[in-house]
Amino acid sequence: MSDTTIWITGATEGIGLELARKQPYKGARIINLSRRESPDYESVFVDFTDPSTWDNVRKHLETELANFKGKRAIFIQSAYWREGHGVLEKTTPETYRKSLFANVTAPLAMGEMFVRAVKPGYESGLVMMSAGAAVACLEGLSTYGSGKIALEHWAQILDKELGDAPGRPWVAAVRPGGTLTSGLRRQIAE
């Protein structure tokens, strides 16, 4: 039994998958939160474009963390929905709304669910993966860019709200810079 459990949204490809593969805790239990099942890690189904599926994550976290006996529980918000990219006027209203759910609302909701589920008695941490689009106005990435700056700001505020109380989770937003992931390669090829 591992003393570390790490939940990673989108651990099926890109940065999420690499974070799962290269996490520093030997024997850590990795749980992928995604629309696609991982061949290498446990998976819990969630579709960021469909809020009716988000409770799958909440229920799973509450169950797993109710009597957690490990040393650390970490949640990494890494997933994004690339199908929603595009200039507003050339994107259907349905696609744009799905992109707002997936790239703005869902990441914050996932972080909130984790923070509410953790208990004192073990290290807990929340990592919100951002991107350069948080500070660059890039046409066609309005939901993605606004989502990234929102999660950075949210993480800073949440960290202040949680304060230094014993047993509270640490919170970090990470902006890794440009990363040529498999998803980005596919977008470039299109």
Instruction: Dump pLDDT digits (tens) for 52-92.
Output: 999 999 999 999 999 999 999 999 999 888 887 778 888 89
For the chain, the average pLDDT equals 90
pLDDT(27) > 80: yes
Q: Of the given ranges (11-20, 26-35, 95-104, 172-181), which has the lowest mean pLDDT?
A: 172-181
pLDDT at 165: 79
Residue partners of 112: CB distance under 8 A and separation at least 6: none
User: The pTM is what?
Assistant: 0.90
Confidence category of residue 167, pLDDT binned at 50, 70, 90:
confident
